[in-house]
Amino acid sequence: MTVAEGAKYVAAAYAIIMAVIIVYYFMSSRRVAVLQRDIQLLESEVKRQTPAPGAE
Amino acid sequence: MKKLLSAPVLFAAAGILLVVGVVLAFWYSPIDASSMGFSQKIFYYHVPIAAAALVAYGVAFVAAILYLRSQDLKWDRLGYVSVRIGLLFSILVMATGMIWGKASWGVWWAWEPRLTTYLLACFLYAAYWVLRSVVDEEQRRATYAAVFAIIAFIDVPITYFATRLMPSGLHPVLSGLAGSMAVSFGICMLGMLTLMTALIKRDYEIELIKDRVTDLKTSLGG
């Protein structure tokens, strides 16, 4: 197999690896950001619903 | 030390190692003299990804044992994300392996021992995924998943030793790499294992955050 013949297979293999890993990385990063935002919202809601000590 | 092993640092380290490894693989290591020729360059990522997938399944195996001993759900979460990353890497192994097979054997697939046992591992761990989705009660789901992860792991050493125990003459056996090839391969292997660790760590953190969200929703009454 010549370099030119092999190159298209090699390029395809590396392109698939890079694409899948990069897409997965950004998906998980986005998921972390969304979940952290949810946590902040929920924590502020819990604080709002919990009466401050001594408050009546 | 904790900061050094944080997911962003591990991702950065993996990125650097993988880029250096692939640059060395293409410009430092020679083109393989066998019939594989230039297509052998796929090997520098294909084999480390395969190894990383098997290590991820190993992490799931250890986490399953630790869960069954302690009943602590953190081990269930670790096992779950390890199987997920192992499956992600397995899909990449199958895809790159098929491309390499087409280039060097002339066929996309061959029913030879290594490929068959690897495909079986993919099916087993996909079944682990299905099993988790059909059991609702948390502790019961974690117990079933842990037992299944231990059983599924039996296929991992079989896959690893398949080419040595049942040589088909088709799938190459990794042995005696030349100096420059060994350096490139070693860096790619280190990079891929670091990437696997970073992905497992990131996904594990996601699972912990999801648990925290569930707790907060419960404390809010819904």
* Interchain contact A35–B (C-beta under 8 A): yes
Kindly report the pTM of this predicted structure: 0.89
Q: Does residue B216 belong to any structural domain of this protein?
A: no
Position B222 pLDDT exceeds 90: no
Give DSSP secondary structure letters for B176-195. Answer: ---HHHHHHHHHHHHHHHHH
Closest CA to B32 of B22, B21, B44: B44
Q: Does residue B36 belong to any structural domain of this protein?
A: no
ipTM: 0.84
Q: Does residue B17 belong to any structural domain of this protein?
A: yes
Q: How many domains does chain B have?
A: 1
Kindly indicate the confidence band of residue A21, based on its pLDDT and cuts at 50, 70 and 90: very high
Instruction: Retrieve residue B11's tokens.
Output: 């991702």
Residue of B96, B108, B211 to mutate, testing the A interface (most A Cβ within 10 Å of its Cβ): B96
Q: Domain range spanning residue B195?
A: 7-29+41-207
Kindly indicate the confidence band of residue B2, based on its pLDDT and cuts at 50, 70 and 90: low
Mean pLDDT value across residues B158-169: 77
Residue of B197, B211, B212 to mutate, testing the A interface (most A Cβ within 10 Å of its Cβ): B212
> What are the structural domain ranges in chain A?
1-48
Mean pLDDT, all residues of chain B: 89
Q: How many CB atoms lie within 10 A of CB A35?
A: 18
pLDDT in tens, B103-113: 888 889 888 88
State whether A38 and B219 contact (CB < 8 Å).
Answer: no
Q: Does residue B203 belong to any structural domain of this protein?
A: yes
Closest CA to B102 of B159, B36, B164: B36
Q: Does residue B76 belong to any structural domain of this protein?
A: yes
Give B26 to chain A, closest Cα distance, Å.
Answer: 11
- Here the CATH number for the domain that contains residue B156 is 1.20.120
